[in-house]
Every structure is written in C-alpha cells, then in structure tokens.
Amino acid sequence: MTSQSVTRRFKQNIPLFIMLAPVLLFYIVFRYLPMAGLVIAFKNYNFTDGILHSPWVGLQYFEWIFTNSQTLSIIRNTLTLSLLTVIVSFPFPIMLAILLNEARKMWFKRAVQTLVYLPHFFSWVIVGGIVVTIFSQQSGMINHMLERWLGEPYPFLYDETSWIAIFLGSGVWKEAGFSAIIYLAALSTIDSSLYEASSLDGAGKFRQIWHVTLPGIRSTIILLLILSMGQVMEVGFDKVFVLQNNAVANVSEVISTYIYKTGLQSGQFSLAAAVGFFESIVGLVLIVTANRIARRFDQQLW
C-alpha cells in the first residue's frame, strides 16, 4: 500500500476518527490516567506528603486485607451477591428476548418492550424508594396486607434472606428488559428457513427454541457471560448502598461500599486503594479464565 493510498484512506475516515475521539478521551482521562493513583496502595498516603513523597509500606495493606476478619467477610459478601446476581439475573434477558421474539401482535410486543425497558432509566435511588414503599415494615404495601391477614408485619428489609431476594429481584426488574435488546438483535440474524425446516420435521415451538433459537444466539450468550464474569467482584455501589441497613450488614457490606466508607468517610485512602486494586485483579483473573474456557468451544472474546 502506497503512502498516497494511506493518506487518501485517512482523509476518507476523518469523520470516523472525530467520532472516536471523545470515546478515546473518556477512557484516557477517566480510566487510564487514574491508574497512576494505585501507587498509594503501597504507601501510607497523607495529604501533607502527597502521592510522591508519602512513605512506602510495601504490601502492608494487602496483608491486612487477608488477615482481617472484616475484610474477608466483605470479600465473601461481594462474591456471594455477585455470583447470585449472575446466576439469577443472566437467564432472564434471554428468556424475555425469546418471548418477545415469539410475539406476533406488534402492538403487544411494543407495549411490553416499553414497560420492561422503562425501569432501566430509573436511578437506583428511585428503585430504592419503590422497594421501601413496597416492603417497608412500617408503611409498606405488602406488610399492610400481611398485617390484615396474619396480624403482624414481616421485616423483609431487615431479614438477611429476604433482603438478598429483594436485592436480586430488584436488579432483575431494573435491567432485564434493557439487556434483552442485545439478544433481540442476535435473534434477528437467525435464518427463518431454519424454523420452517424444523417445523416440517415436526418440531414444536419448544424444540425450535432449544435446537434453533438458543444455538443461533450461543455466541452472544457466551460473549456476555464472559463480560459479566469480569464484573463478579463489582456488585455496584449504588444498588447496594440504597438498600442496605445495619440489620443486614453481615450480608450487604461489599467491597464498593467498604471503599466508600473507608476511603471517603474515614480517610484511609491507602487501604481503600489496596482493596480496590485487589478487586480489579480478581476481576481480571475471572474474565481471562472465562475466556480460556470459552476458547475450548471456539467462542472466545480474544
């Protein structure tokens, strides 16, 4: 390829480079440059000495993470809630997309899509208010009915088991509809002749879904599963923070909320950075492991 052709191609793609520039700038400024601050995880950081001159402490904070019972409990809670979220939440968008794809009435399909997409645009503060309105022990709608029928309310938000169920359920309600968009796009690429052939062979609707639909979107499912595994250690600060309370702290205190309380509220920046660095390393290991497993089935991400 000559230099003239390279220059010509560059000029032709200038609009694309201009559209890509804000994305690159975002990742450079908010993703890559802040990585330099990870050095404070190996220092006893203080405002007086700053990042460069704070004394080195090596792996002291990482040793503290693995010897302190509180941090081990927080890591356990993070893994538990994250794995439960993947197990419970991951299949719902797939099922929802398949059901919407099978709908024949366009007005019904569009109405359902609008209803299930809408919660995605609510902030977790709004979702937390809705959850409290429904499940609050003093003023919740469900407890009003339980008090009439059984004579006493149930502490849904103060019992560890029911809190986890509400946490998982609210996450599914908020995100399943929007996540189904990706699967709907993948379903649109399946050749309709495959359904016709399977129908001629006597396959019913469920067999068509099992033998045609699911294999047709298998690569998309594996891709999103790999990406979700990278977020196993990242439960999400806002969704936990707006729902947690002291009564369920044993199961609701996770790494993101611990970093907020330790770093911003208590001023232990080095410890918070060490915990965050550990979280990122585990996430990297999980996503690489998931990709290696997917590679055996020729469905790897890279």
pLDDT, one tens digit per residue, over 68-111 is: 888 889 888 988 888 888 888 889 999 999 988 888 888 888 88
Per-residue pLDDT, 22: 93
Is 33 in the same domain as 69?
A: no
Q: How confident is the model at residue 230 (pLDDT cuts 50, 70, 90)?
A: low
Is 22 in the same domain as 129?
A: no
Whether residue 22 is contained in a domain is answered as: yes
Whether residue 242 is contained in a domain is answered as: yes
Is 244 in the same domain as 285?
A: yes
Q: How confident is the model at residue 26 (pLDDT cuts 50, 70, 90)?
A: very high
Whether residue 302 is contained in a domain is answered as: no
Whether residue 104 is contained in a domain is answered as: yes
Domain boundary among 10, 33, 58: 58
pTM: 0.81
User: Are 272 and 259 within 8 A, CB to CB?
Assistant: yes
Per-residue pLDDT, 1: 58
Instruction: Give per-residue pLDDT as tens, 132-157.
Output: 889 988 878 888 888 888 878 888 98
Is 157 in the same domain as 8?
A: no
Is 184 in the same domain as 51?
A: no
Whether residue 187 is contained in a domain is answered as: yes
User: Are 133 and 141 within 8 A, CB to CB?
Assistant: yes
When divided into structural domains, the chain yields a total of 2
Task: List all residues 6 or more positions away from 59 whose beta carbon is below 8 Å from its beta carbon.
Answer: 42
Domain boundary among 24, 43, 58: 58
Whether residue 173 is contained in a domain is answered as: yes
Residue 120 DSSP code? G
Domain boundary among 38, 58, 78: 58
CATH code (residue 170)? 1.10.3720.10
- Tell me the C-alpha distance between 35 and 33, whole Å: 5
Please give the single-letter amino acid code of residue 186.
A
Per-residue pLDDT, 299: 66
Task: List all residues 6 or more positions away from 93 whose beta carbon is below 8 Å from its beta carbon.
Answer: 175, 176, 177, 179, 180, 182, 183
For residue 41, pLDDT beyond 80: yes
Is 49 in the same domain as 70?
A: no
Is 3 in the same domain as 114?
A: no
Structural domain that includes position 168: 63-295
Is 15 in the same domain as 138?
A: no
Whether residue 280 is contained in a domain is answered as: yes
Q: How confident is the model at residue 301 (pLDDT cuts 50, 70, 90)?
A: low
Per-residue pLDDT, 297: 67
Percent of the chain with pLDDT over 90: 12
Whether residue 300 is contained in a domain is answered as: no
Is 107 in the same domain as 248?
A: yes
Is 153 in the same domain as 21?
A: no
